[in-house]
Structure 1
């Protein structure tokens, strides 16, 4: 039995799930924040303004489950947890940098059309 080539345009292809995960706003911001190195959850939440604790936890779990983020828990009291990118997650670095920089560089260009139509 042959396995079909991955195709994001095919609604049954698993690559859509991966695309959905990494294209999600919170996932992209978490991954982008982790480009700077290992971070504790509270620091991630401060850095990513507007993300709730619940959403951050769900996002980190999903990214960890897909092998993009590494979670390390230290056996101390109180619990100490740190997150970092796996090599697979780090391979998204050029894409995430380009996407986030493009969004910042073209903010004014994307606001003008919306303001003109209002």
Structure 2
């Protein structure tokens, strides 16, 4: 199982490859095996800062293309995909690993894990 830090580095690589390069046209410099090979601890602030910078760059890349450009084929990870396909892949990939991070956090925190939000009404999903 991957550490949370490894997952954050991997998410940055995926976003860079699919959105910044695939949609935005930047050179694809991803070294996917290196994302999993790092064994030295990386400070939490640096991990979060690096991921935030990558997400900001991806948002900027997406803001520069229009809907017609998003339909054009491009090469991402050796596959011909549209910009929309690259974006949907990256978002769903991010979501999946977010769930993995939540699971790991809950396992590590055990009884100390605190939910950010709990339902307060039946409409929100509170049991009667």
Query: TM over 0.5: same fold?
Result: no
More helix by share: 2
- Which structure's relative contact order is higher, taking Cα pairs within 8 Å and 6+ residues apart? 2
* TM-score, structure 1 normalization: 0.29
